[in-house]
Structure 1
Amino acid sequence: MIEVYIDGASAGDPGNSGAGIFIKNNGQVEKYAIPLGVLNNHEAEYHALIKALEICRQNHFKIISVRSDSTAVVNAVEKEYAKKEKYRILLNQILSLSKDFDLFFIKWIPSSENRSADELARKAIHLNDKVR
């Protein structure tokens, strides 16, 4: 099973945002710091999951376990419901992408267990300036 740690971060509300993705695959580690442009923190969290699912799909992973410290994203995916329209649109993308895997799990973890993804997300915030 592939372990995928994700985090989204935003420097403002909204502000420059980034996604951090840390993947453990049979002892191998992959790290991604992806600039996301200007978003709020919740949007960044959703986009981090979308990016992670896209990466896992490109790598032809079949069984993935995603860990996130975002209760909003984890609850939305588990309940398949988001109250606000802008989050529903992102959630629908996530649910569609999740069907590409034989098994897809998502689990909430405390921030203390998500430091690697958090560091990558914060790094990605600063990469926004280089993309423009």
Structure 2
Amino acid sequence: MNTPYQVPGAGHRGSVPGLSVFPLAGRSGVRAAGEVGLTTRAIWEAVLEEAVREDDDVYYLELSDVTFVDVAGAGALADAAGRLTDGRRFVVRRPPSALRRTLDLLWPDQTGIEVTTS
């Protein structure tokens, strides 16, 4: 991923959540900040689609600055992981706890996603 994606919030009152995504230095993956929801889902899905097309065995998603991922965003991640070729996986680092719980509840057997808290 060479291009940062960004949807800024619309202001403080009645604000629209934003999502910023930047390439990781030195490894295949991205660092995201903000929220994954209705207004930012297109960015999230574009990032995941690009990750599926890459050929690295591991694609890192650094989510320590992501505060929320809705169930549709979790589903997009599970769908993308299901389209990875054998042996490839997403390593999701420090996601919001709700994302971990959603993945465990709805996609417990998805082997293409490894969640780490460190």
TM-score by length of 1: 0.42
Q: Which structure has greater helix proportion?
A: 1
Higher relative contact order (CA 8 A, sep 6+): 1
TM-score by length of 2: 0.45
